[in-house]
Structure 1
């Protein structure tokens, strides 16, 4: 039986393949990094509190970081519910940033300060797709007009200390509150944290991410 002495040992073949594959893998990683870096296309999504105090997930914002004092307004080029940064003296500016908070996937985990009329949820997406994205920040904005539904007691925006609610914990304007309605004295995690003047602490159902579980209330009238 003839023996073929030209066959290479398996170990040497594997070594050769490794020598070829390692630089190819490195080149592939570098190429992929450059592709995603060049194709990076930040975008934003927003959740805006309208004058009727409702909140909805919208698209909006621009790629630059927001700062307190920045102004913004609708961005019709990106959709009817989109927003972008604008100079405060721009005719299209409708709100000013009161506070910049961390981004969050859960809406209830963000609690903007009293006076917030609109909430812009800014997120960053990578690639040409404009949908979804990674939450990066939240803009708590105040209207530049005289319409301020987020003021304490005005009946709109997020629930804050000084607001009024009905017996179902729905926010209402304090000006129209009756004997069966309540004034919000504080928003806390446990009843024991409510202020002394609290007569009607309202324990809420579980809300994932919500910074409070109890509404400390007393009769509004």
Structure 2
């Protein structure tokens, strides 16, 4: 480890909410959430600190030099603790890497529990607006109804498994600030927690 009737200020489906997740959302094109494995000292003072890089793995990621051929993603933000208790990742985060509390190799210090907000070094970037993934829903993203009052993100270009039904056009402080063409309100979190989505 990311949403038929008249178009109006009230959504037809009962207030659908796009869940702000800390891991990759279902249907995301990014890699699944995983734990990380520590590397010997020398890559940086902080394990997977801001600006450092990781490799991709199936269940575990490792810190590698950003100039190396195994480098796949760069840390754009890093926080201690659990994602649900800490600051959200930047809007263009492609995926979130969960870091387990663990001892450094050789017993020199402890890596605290935390999370790293990752951006892949090469496109595609699922965290970009309309990219179809990433841990946050942002203006420009497209959504489809996933049932039970939920929506999920999908690529706006139609390449995802689900075709887009809505697009978030604006993030605002309250529903009253959404344009009259809003068909769906989406929970985004942050300082502008309401997403105004129009029908696609």
TM-score range, shorter chain: 0.5 to 0.7
Equivalent residues in 2 for 1:1-221 (5 A)? 47=23, 52-53=28-29, 56-62=32-38, 64-74=46-56, 80-104=58-82, 106=84, 111-125=88-102, 136-158=113-135, 159-168=137-146, 169-176=151-158, 181-187=165-171, 190-192=174-176, 194-196=177-179, 199-202=182-185, 214-220=194-200
SS state at 2:113 partner:
strand
Structure 2 Cα separation of the partners of residues 189 and 123 of structure 1:
34
Aligned residues: 161
Cα offset for 1:111? 3.3
Question: Bigger CA drift: 149-158 or 63-72?
Answer: 63-72
Q: Aligned in 2, Cα 1:61/1:50: closer, same or farther, shift over 3 Å?
A: farther
Larger helix proportion of the pair: 1
RMSD, aligned CA: 4.1
Q: Aligned in 2, Cα 1:154/1:199: closer, same or farther, shift over 3 Å?
A: same
Q: Structure 2 length normalisation: TM-score?
A: 0.60
Residues 116 and 140 in structure 1, CA contact (< 8 A), matched pair in contact too: yes
Structure 1 Cα separation of the partners of residues 24 and 163 of structure 2:
31
Of the two, which has the highest radius of gyration?
1
SS state at 1:175 partner:
coil
Residues 188 and 215 in structure 1, CA contact (< 8 A), matched pair in contact too: yes
Q: Which runs of 5+ in 1 are unaligned?
A: 1-45, 128-132
Q: Aligned in 2, Cα 1:196/1:115: closer, same or farther, shift over 3 Å?
A: same
Structure 2 Cα separation of the partners of residues 118 and 181 of structure 1:
23
Residues 150 and 156 in structure 1, CA contact (< 8 A), matched pair in contact too: yes
SS state at 2:179 partner:
coil
